[in-house]
Structures are given as C-alpha cells and as structure tokens.
C-alpha cells in the first residue's frame, strides 16, 4: 500500500517496531533488501524482495479495546490513529486470540506471554459516553499531534447520529464498515445476521452530517467487501471521501476464504503462525499493486462517462446514480429507495473541506516540554515542580510523544522528574513514556496512567489531608487501562476497572472498586486494602497480590479463570515454583512471591509515604500471611512450560 501511496492499517495486534524505526531514523530501504533481512528470518517464512524506497510502516495505527502494543512510540509513528469501536462482521462483540496462536513473536508484539490467550473486550473500557470518546480522541491527538484521528463505526440503524457525535467529539475521520466485512474468525451467525450493508450506513451518515453542518469537518470512509471500481464510484456518490479494502487484496495475495483464521490451520499460509503452512504463502506486493491499478482504471472510466475529471467532483453526487433500471425490475417491485438516494438541500459542505480544532494550544505539556528541553536535547537529568488544575487534561502525553520520537523506549529511568501539585484532569500520564516520572501531590480523575508505556506515576495526598488514604478515593475509574510497561504507586483508593487489560505494568494501590484486573494479561498488581466485586474477570495473565484483611476476598473474586493461593515465605516456596519465572519476565532475577511483594511495598512507602505500607512492613510475618495471590490458570500453565523449557536449555519458541 505504501508503494502506491495508499495507507495500510496495523489492525489491533500492534506492530513490530523494526517496521517503523528504520524509516523514522531516516534509513531508506534499498533495492534488493528483503522482509527477512529487516524483520529477521525467524518471523518471515516466505522472503519477499523489496524495491528501492519501499516502506514497511503502516501509516494507520489502530487502537482497539484490547490496546495490544499501543505505546507512545507506536502512536508517534502513525499518520492516522484509528479507534476501532467495532468490526463490520461482528459489531460490539470484541474478539479473542486463542493461546495456541500466541507465538513468541506475537507475544512480544502484544507484550504478553507465549501460549496465553488474549481477549479484546466488547467495549472500550474508557468509552462509555460520547464525552469519553472525545477524551480518547484528545489523548491520541496529544500523543501524536501530526496524526489525524479516525473512529471506525459499523453500518447500522442510527449510525448517522453516532457519526454526528464523533464529529462533535473532534474526530478528523469516520469509517462506516458494512456487514460483509470483518475477519474470517468472525462467528457465522454474526457474519450473516449482524450489521447492515455499507450503502445504507454511508447514506445515513452523509445525510445526517450534512444536516448538522458537520460534514466539512470530517473525512468519511466506507468499507466492507469493496471489490471493484464500480463499488468505489457508488461509495463516492453516496458521500465517501475514501474507500477501504481488505478482503479483495487478501484474496489477491492468495487467501481462499477457508474461514479458519482462528484455528491456525490456514492452508495457504495467510492467517497462521505454523511455519510449515506459512511456507505455502505465495503472495507478492506486485499482485496487490496490480489489482489496485485495475480498480483505479475502472473508476477512471466511470468518471469519464460521467464527465468528471477528479474523484472529489464525484463525492456526494447521488444525483448521478441511475436507479430506474434497478427499481423497474420485477423482483424490486414495491421497494422504495428514495431515502437512500436523497440529497440534503442545505448550504453546508457535503465533503471534507476544513480541519478540526483540537485545542492543543492550551495543553500544559507545552510548558513541561520547554522546562524539560535539556533532557530532550541531551538526555541530561532534569527535575522541576509545576501546578496542575482539573482543566489540564492528558498531562504528560505530549511530552511522552517528544521522548518517544527522540529516544524510543531507551531514555534512562527518572531522567525527567516532574512533581505536580493540585488536581489533574482526565487521562493524567496517559501513554507516559520510559524515562519520565510524574509525581502528583493531590488527586487525579479518570484514566490515570492509561496506556502507560514505561514511565512512573506516583499519586499521593497533599500535606493538608487528614484522613486515612486506605479509605479515601484519590483517582477515578479505569486507571492503568491497557498499560504496557512502567510503574504506578497510588497512596489511596482507585475507582472501578483498575488495571483493566494491564499487560506489563507494576502497580501498588491501597484499594480498588469493582472489576479490578479485568482482562489482565501481564504485569503485577498489589492491592493493600479492599477490592470491589468481580475482581480478575477474564484475567488470563499477570499476578495480583491482595491484602485479605477480613478473609472475604474469595467472595469478591471471579474464579472462572484464576486460582487463589497463599503467599509463601521465601523458605517455603520451592525453587522451581512458576512464580520465580514470573519475576524473570518482569525483569527480576527469579525472586519469590514474598520478595516481589515486600520489595514493591517498600518502594510504595518510599515514593508515597503510605501509612498502610509502613504498618504492613512493621509486622511483616503477620501481614504476609494475610495476602492472597491471584494466579490465572492459563498463565500458570504457560509459565510452567516456559520454565521447563528454560531448564532444558530449549528456546521459548520450542516451548
């Protein structure tokens, strides 16, 4: 797609940094280089030669509900960032990658563990209203101000109203996905019975946006089994600025639509991690390029017949659609297509003509970037204090984008240390990059540490606070959602859905609301106080340690995918315990549960001055006995396999 000036989309699985780091460093691909020479022969079973100037970077980076691989660096390498609200073939259903398909390479890209299943929740847990969507759009725009922000919707009744809200939420781009699209792993019942054709959704979206005077502010894209130039022309006349293709190019590359994508048995090597089957892949970039040239040629011919010179002249021209032959056919008698082909007669733009105002000029980060300029230029340590108010949203994210652009994930820990005093607005420290510490003395709102990407977040009450931190809320809901790496020390209680989809961050918190550690796949969570109900629902990886003071935690924990175990002392714990391997994965040296737990509580006290942490450490033998270890069953099995392989001097891949 890059070769012909199009935009490829990563999908929700993340992207190998090697694909974009080479381009960001200004190192062009030269004639004769191959995919294997760049990505490594272990990942590419069928080597493909590249042309001079080719790019491996996907210009569209997707952000889905699973937030797999969504880091500050990943977002900063995008031309467009797409929020996938749903897929055309399975609207609102989420998805799941079975453990047997999670190879070592995929686990690395998704910051998980080989063999552990990965769940994409049905909803985005930071989007429960149009205001929440506006916040996520703002967060992503801060992470990469140069990228346009897209929202992918499904063609269904009422999609026009949703698209209007999306435009008001400051999205730059809206996708309307038809019911025929989606992956081969979609349930057949959803493929057949969910969603509506893209024509209906696109028509409704176009008309509603024009009626509300919003069409000029967004680009509209249609997709869902687009195959021919005729499809492109019809979509343009119904209001599409852009067209998305997926199934047709896959077929051109060799896909035979066996719909076995989830079984790892694709016979032509397209959707499988099996090296034997992948060797059967016969696709080449030239096939896709050739296909799109034919599509473009057909569009050009149709435009010539209509007397149009450019694609833009065709957008919104429903008057050019000839429907008389179709409705005169005996099979179509009684059908009324008037509303689909209706053209809104209003003196407002009917195609994209202006840019959204994201209000980035008001961001506190401009000041933080200026004060941290020494560190950004030379990597020298810098530390300063700044006030913060609840109107300051997404603090630290734009700074993280600058760090990711310059250093990737290599800036040494605590190079930039910022103490903020006051009440932070939504999404404090979202996508916080490696090397940055944000120490908030005060309180935070929702989404603190969302997408944490290696940085450190500290939350502690101010000196005037006279209550017990373990009994008081200090930050809102959905804290550390989709966290990838880094640390968070929170001296107080967090709201609902704490550490949802955490895949690598380490955190200590004094208490949580309902649904803590939901869909978690990695990392370490320590709760020093009460939890809400439904703890660990869908948790397939990582470990949580919960202080069960009253012995009732088992009634609050969702036991469907986890077991509860005591935290043994270092002497009691056997040397071959799988927990030792968990500590290796998190960068340790084979520590026991007790060592992990005590070390993190000590660091929590050091960073926050927590009274609860001090009391637990003062009576450690009794305190340790009251901690419960939440250990996912699938993760336990995967760790045992990896540990056995390590002891047998085998590679993780062999495991």
Give yes or no for residue 163 having a pLDDT over 70.
Answer: yes
Task: Kindly state whether residue 336 falls inside one of the protein's structural domains.
Answer: no
State yes or no: pLDDT of 227 exceeds 60: yes
Nearest to 153 by CA among 110, 112, 196, 189: 196
Could you tell me if 581 and 116 are in contact, meaning their C-beta atoms sit under 8 angstroms apart?
Answer: no
3-class secondary structure per residue, 214-269? CHHHCEEEEECCCCCHHHHHHHHHHCCCEEECCHHHHHHHCCCCCCCHHHCCCCCC
Task: Note the pLDDT of residue 431.
Answer: 97
Summarised one tens digit per residue, pLDDT across range 2-57 is 889 999 999 888 898 888 887 777 777 888 787 777 777 555 656 778 888 788 89
Q: Is residue 307 part of a domain?
A: yes
Which run of H or of E encompasses 638? Answer: helix 633-647
**Which CATH number belongs to the domain containing residue 604 in this structure?**
2.160.20.60
Cα separation of 544 and 627, whole Å? 10
To the nearest 10 degrees (0 to 180), the angle between helices 578-585 and 633-647 is 90
Residue 375, in any domain of the structure: no
Q: What is the rounded CA–CA span in Å between residue 551 and residue 516?
A: 18
Is pLDDT above 60 for 575? no
pLDDT tens column, 87-139: 877 777 777 888 888 888 889 999 988 888 888 888 899 999 999 999 999 99
Report pLDDT digits (tens) over 508-522. 999 999 999 999 999
Residue finishing a domain among 322, 347, 370: 322
322, 355, 370: which is the final residue of a domain?
322
Does residue 475 sit within a domain? Answer: yes
Strands (E), 123-214: 148-154, 173-177
Between 133 and 569, where is the model more confident? Answer: 133
424-428, 591-595, 603-607: least confident range: 591-595
Could you report the per-residue pLDDT of 444-483, keeping only the tens digit for each?
Answer: 999 999 999 999 999 999 988 888 999 999 999 999 999 9
Q: Tell me if 130 is assigned to some domain.
A: yes
Structural domain count, the chain: 2
Q: Of all residues in the chain, what percent carry a pLDDT higher than 70? A: 95
pLDDT, residue 213, reads: 95
Rounded mean pLDDT of 173-191? 80
Write phi, then psi, for 36 (nearest 5 degrees).
-65, -35
For residue 314, being part of any structural domain is answered with yes
**Per-residue pLDDT at 35:** 75
Is residue 450 assigned to a domain? no
Place of tokens 């081969």: 184
pLDDT of residue 150: 97
The boundaries of the domain holding residue 590 are: 467-647
Percent share of the chain, pLDDT over 90: 67
Q: Identify the pLDDT of residue 577.
A: 63
* pLDDT on residue 42: 59
Which domain-ending residue is among 281, 306, 322? 322
Structure-model confidence comparison of residues 524 and 653, the more confident one = 524
CATH code of the domain in which 158 resides: 3.20.20.70
Residue 371 lies in a domain: no
**What does the pLDDT average to over 286-313?**
96
Q: What does the pLDDT read at residue 589?
A: 62
pLDDT at 653 exceeding the cut of 60: no
Order of strands across the sheet that contains 382-388: 382-388, 416-423, 436-443, 453-460, 485-493, 503-511, 521-527, 541-547, 627-632, 562-566
- Please determine, for residue 655, whether its predicted confidence score (pLDDT) is greater than 60: no
What average pLDDT does the chain have? 90
pLDDT at residue 550, rounded to an integer: 92
């Amino acid at each position: 797609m890059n070769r012909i000036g199009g935009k490829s989309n990563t999908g929700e699985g993340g992207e190998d940094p090697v694909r974009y780091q080479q381009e960001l460093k200004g190192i062009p691909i030269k004639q004769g280089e191959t995919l294997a020479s760049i990505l490594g022969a272990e990942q590419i079973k069928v080597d493909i030669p590249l042309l001079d100037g080719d790019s491996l970077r996907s210009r569209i980076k997707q952000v889905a509900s699973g937030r797999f691989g969504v880091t500050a660096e990943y977002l900063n390498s995008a031309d467009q960032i797409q929020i996938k609200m749903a897929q055309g073939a399975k609207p609102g259903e989420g998805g799941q990658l079975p453990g047997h398909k999670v190879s070592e390479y995929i686990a690395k890209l998704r910051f998980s563990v080989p063999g552990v299943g990965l769940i994409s929740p049905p909803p985005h847990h930071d989007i429960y209203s149009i205001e929440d969507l506006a916040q996520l759009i703002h967060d992503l725009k801060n992470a990469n101000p140069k990228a346009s922000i897209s929202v992918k919707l499904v063609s269904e009744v009422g999609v026009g109203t949703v698209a209007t809200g999306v435009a008001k939420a400051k999205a730059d781009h809206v996708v309307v996905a038809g019911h025929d699209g989606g992956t081969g792993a979609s349930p057949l019942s959803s493929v057949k019975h969910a969603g509506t054709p893209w024509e209906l959704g696109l028509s409704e979206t176009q008309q509603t946006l024009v009626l509300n005077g919003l069409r000029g502010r967004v680009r509209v894209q249609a997709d869902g089994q687009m195959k021919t130039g005729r499809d492109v022309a019809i979509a343009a006349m119904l209001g599409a600025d852009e067209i998305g293709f997926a199934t047709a190019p896959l077929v051109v590359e060799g896909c035979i639509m066996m719909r076995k994508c989830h079984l790892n048995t694709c016979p032509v090597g397209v959707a499988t991690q099996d090296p034997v089957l992948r060797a059967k892949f016969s696709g080449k970039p030239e096939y896709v390029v050739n296909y799109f040239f034919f599509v473009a040629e057909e569009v050009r011919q149709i435009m010539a017949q209509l007397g149009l010179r450019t694609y833009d002249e065709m957008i919104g021209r429903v008057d050019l659609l000839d429907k008389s032959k179709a409705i005169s056919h005996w099979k179509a008698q009684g059908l009324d297509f008037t509303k689909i082909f209706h053209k809104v007669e209003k003196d407002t733009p009917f195609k994209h003509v202006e840019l959204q105002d994201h209000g980035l000029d008001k961001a506190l980060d401009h000041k933080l970037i200026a004060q941290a300029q020494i560190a950004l230029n030379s990597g020298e340590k810098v530390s300063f204090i700044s006030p913060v108010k609840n109107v300051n949203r997404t603090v630290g994210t734009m700074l993280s984008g600058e760090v990711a652009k310059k250093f990737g994930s290599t800036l040494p820990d605590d190079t930039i240390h910022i103490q903020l005093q006051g009440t932070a607005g939504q999404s404090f420290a979202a996508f916080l990059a490696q090397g940055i510490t944000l120490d908030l003395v005060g309180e935070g709102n929702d989404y603190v540490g969302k997408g944490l990407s290696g940085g450190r977040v500290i939350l502690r009450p101010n000196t005037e606070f006279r209550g017990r931190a373990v009994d008081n809320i200090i930050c809102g809901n959905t804290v550390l959602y989709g966290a990838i790496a880094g640390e968070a020390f929170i001296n107080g209680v967090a709201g609902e859905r704490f550490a949802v989809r955490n895949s690598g961050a380490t955190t200590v918190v004094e208490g949580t609301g309902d649904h803590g550690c939901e869909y978690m796949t990695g990392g370490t969570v320590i709760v020093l106080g009460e939890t809400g109900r439904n703890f660990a629902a869908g948790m397939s990886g990582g470990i949580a340690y919960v202080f069960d003071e009253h012995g009732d935690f088992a009634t609050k924990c969702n036991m469907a995918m986890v077991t509860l175990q005591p935290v043994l002392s270092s002497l009691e714990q056997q040397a071959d315990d799988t927990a030792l391997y968990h500590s290796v994965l998190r960068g340790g040296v084979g520590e026991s549960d007790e060592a992990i737990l005590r070390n993190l509580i000590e660091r929590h006290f050091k960073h926050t001055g927590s009274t609860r942490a001090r009391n637990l450490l003062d009576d450690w033998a009794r305190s340790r006995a009251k901690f419960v270890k939440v250990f996912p069953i699938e993760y336990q099995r995967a760790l045992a396999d990896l540990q056995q392989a390590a002891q047998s001097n085998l590679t993780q891949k062999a495991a």
